[in-house]
Amino acid sequence: MNFLTELLVSGGTGSIELILVCCYIGILAACALAIYEKRVMGEFIRTVLKRGATSPETALTLRELGYDNKSSVIRALRGNGLFKDTVFEASDTVEFDKESHALPVYREKFDPATARFYIPEPLKYKAEVRFEKKGTHIMMLVLAAILFGILLIIALLLKDQVLVLIDQYLEAMRT
């Protein structure tokens, strides 16, 4: 007896329901994280660009940018944080590959009070697009929750039929 048939016969579909619910929660968490990244963390990128910090000479400190007390921004600037391939410290040596992509710099430690940050001119457009605020509204999360909630309910209602179809397909592939 194969795995899917055994699940159907033994009534062990609880694990499938759990998988579907976890997928739903994961999709909503990913949507919320994307909105947070673009709206909240992207505000720092937009501020750096608005203030014209596009070279080591025009780099600004976190205090000058108004982010000296924002621990989430400081974390994003450290190590392999969110800004690793976008925002650079004035003392960093920025290297570009053939396609003008900046090679990320691993920044383990820096002094948040004195470090000066900038976004190199070749990365300006990429940063604007990646952290664009437009189209990332909280209503998108609500719509995603409703849409994927409906799909979850449909999947839960039709799980037995789908499992039978998958089982028949896999059986046909073996013969």
Could you please report the per-residue DSSP string of 4-36? HHHHHHHT-THHHHHHHHHHHHHHHHHHHHHHH
- What sign does the CA torsion over 76, 82, 83, 84 have? positive
Q: Which two tokens stand for residue 10?
A: 């033994």
**What is the pLDDT at residue 100?**
64
Q: Which phi and psi angles does 53 have, rounded to 5°?
A: -85, 85
| Residue 45 near residue 119, CB atoms below 8 Å | yes
- Please give the DSSP secondary-structure letter assigned to residue 110: -
- Tens place of pLDDT for every residue, the chain, 175 residues? 455 555 555 555 567 888 889 999 999 999 888 888 888 888 999 999 999 888 889 999 999 999 888 888 888 888 778 888 888 888 777 777 766 666 666 666 778 888 899 898 888 888 888 888 776 678 888 888 999 999 999 988 988 888 888 888 988 888 7
**What is the pLDDT at residue 94?**
72
- pTM (two decimals): 0.70
**What is the pLDDT at residue 64?**
92
- Please give the DSSP secondary-structure letter assigned to residue 123: G
Instruction: Kindly list the distances between the CA atom of residue 88 and the CA atoms of 73, 85, 101, 108, in Å, as whole numbers in the listed order.
Output: 13, 8, 13, 13
Our CA dihedral for 61, 66, 68, 70, rounded to 10 degrees, sits at: -130
> Rounded distance, CA 72 to CA 105, Å?
19
**What is the pLDDT at residue 1?**
45
